[in-house]
Amino acid sequence: MKQAFLFVLSAFWTLTAAQNYYQGLMDYLDNRLLAIEDRMQLWHDQNRRYHSEQQDFKKLTQELMEGLGGDFSAFYKDLSGADIRVQRAEREMEYVETWTSPRACVRPEERVLERGEWSLKESRVPEGEDHDWEEVKAQVSDCEDVVSGIRSVKILKRAGGPKGVWTPDPKSSKVFVFNGTSGDSVFQFNSVRDFCSSSGLNSSSSLRLGVDWTGAGSALYNHHLYYVTHAEEVQVVKFDLASGFITDIAMFPLASVSPVYSLNPETIADLAVDHQGLWLLYSSNEKEPNINLAKLDHQSLDIEQIWDTGCPREKAEAAFVACGVVYVVYNTRLPSRSRIQCVFDVNGVVVNEEAPLMYFPRRFGAHSSLKYNPEERQLYGWDDGYQIIYRLTMKRKMMARR
């Protein structure tokens, strides 16, 4: 009996210990589940708060974007209005320039009469000072005129590509057109009127030159076409319009082939014509920053004299020569308003620092060529395929003190 009682007592204690263990385990699991539920509730509350904050941020961002859109619309309208006002101001400036062209290259205290006479009374010399004045005698050119403005502009038509050269022959009234930047032929018309009324370059007669031309540097002088060609060397070709044959080819010695105008890299050298004959604008080498000028004998193509104009090649688009003065046309961006910003006088009469800043009317692109006609005192320009005539205003060159 005693053994049975001990067995029962031992079993009771064992069951009691197991019950206490499982009860403690259940309490632990219950506490962990409560902690997990509390953490899930916290996460749920944070998620709702984050969602609410996200909605508020989205609403604020949308309001800001709407406000920025309204500000952008207002700013765009202001810019459009400013652009309209700028264009109106440019038109007014161009209109004023057609009536009041810039002064010629003179000092403020000096004046040259419009009628071309020299007068000591017109010069603002302080009283009590005695100055002797004389008209400067030309060393290379005996022409006494200087470009002072653009009197009128006439856009004839649009024929050909963006770049080219067109020039009339004042002796025969024929018009010659070099279309593009290279080729072996030139188009010719009987007159400017025929060129204007033509349907295009295909309707004209084509003249084969025999040697290809390169760039927009061709010129017409004394019934001869002069143009530039280059492969390994730069050459000036003389073509006789009467016979239809090449009469002379001269090699122009250059250290390297480089464009004379940075905005027209196809033009290696540019031929120009004025009252004194034939000129060549070029760059001696790639490192040369300025434009050089050479006076050529139109019969033998020999070089008579060479000058450094001091006019930079950078941002230059074209140039022309009138009365021994080089006028270099510059541009800042394309398309924009071209301007004469640098001049060089072979006689040293016209000083670049005293030259007026003369603007061309705003057009379509940029000049690929500007050819001066000394008989008509007009410029024949090629601008993005448009053929334009600029009628120039000329004045007498200033006088120098003895």
DSSP characters over 280-332: EEE-SSTT--EEEEEEE-TTT--EEEEEEEEEESTTEEEEEEETTEEEEEE-S
Res 157: pLDDT: 87
pTM above 0.75, yes or no: no
Q: Which strands form 290-296's sheet, in the order they lie side by side?
A: 269-274, 277-282, 290-296, 303-312
Structure tokens at 155: 């856009």
Q: Per the domain annotation, does 291 fall within a domain?
A: yes
Does residue 85 sit in the same domain as residue 108?
A: no
Q: Per the domain annotation, does 96 fall within a domain?
A: no
Res 123: pLDDT: 35
Does residue 84 sit in the same domain as residue 116?
A: no
Does residue 289 sit in the same domain as residue 394?
A: yes
Report CA Rg, the chain: 42
Cis peptide leading into residue 361 (ω within 30°): no
Q: Per the domain annotation, does 94 fall within a domain?
A: no
Does residue 55 sit in the same domain as residue 167?
A: no
Closest CA to 252 of 300, 299, 303, 206: 303
Q: Per the domain annotation, does 129 fall within a domain?
A: yes
Res 365: pLDDT: 76
Among candidate residues 89, 123, 155, the one where a domain is terminated = 89
Does residue 375 sit in the same domain as residue 291?
A: yes
Does residue 131 sit in the same domain as residue 62?
A: no
Does residue 109 sit in the same domain as residue 171?
A: yes
Res 112: pLDDT: 32
Domain span holding position 386: 101-401
Structure tokens at 210: 């025999």
Q: What CATH number does the domain containing 380 carry?
A: 2.120.10
The count of domains in the chain is 2
Among candidate residues 31, 59, 89, the one where a domain is terminated = 89
Q: Per the domain annotation, does 31 fall within a domain?
A: yes
Structure tokens at 170: 């004042």
Q: Per the domain annotation, does 17 fall within a domain?
A: yes
What is the chain's pLDDT, residue by residue, as a tens digit (402 residues)?
A: 667 766 666 776 777 777 777 778 888 888 888 889 888 888 888 888 888 888 889 888 888 888 888 888 888 888 888 877 777 776 666 555 544 443 333 333 333 323 333 333 333 334 444 444 333 333 455 677 888 888 888 888 888 889 999 998 877 888 999 999 999 999 999 888 888 888 878 766 888 998 999 999 999 998 999 999 987 788 999 999 988 999 999 988 776 788 999 999 999 999 999 988 999 999 988 888 999 999 999 999 999 999 999 999 999 999 999 999 999 999 876 566 788 989 999 988 877 766 667 888 866 778 999 999 988 889 999 998 899 999 998 888 764 333
Does residue 85 sit in the same domain as residue 105?
A: no
Does residue 106 sit in the same domain as residue 85?
A: no
Residues 226-230: contacts with CB under 8 Å, at least 24 apart: 226/271, 226/278, 226/298, 227/178, 227/271, 228/268, 228/269, 228/270, 228/271, 230/257, 230/268, 230/269
Q: Per the domain annotation, does 396 fall within a domain?
A: yes
Q: Per the domain annotation, does 95 fall within a domain?
A: no
Does residue 80 sit in the same domain as residue 123?
A: no
Does residue 249 sit in the same domain as residue 360?
A: yes
Does residue 314 sit in the same domain as residue 378?
A: yes
In Å, how far from its chain's centre is CA 341?
Answer: 13
Q: Which strands form 224-230's sheet, in the order they lie side by side?
A: 219-221, 224-230, 234-240, 245-252
Res 363: pLDDT: 67
Among candidate residues 57, 89, 121, the one where a domain is terminated = 89
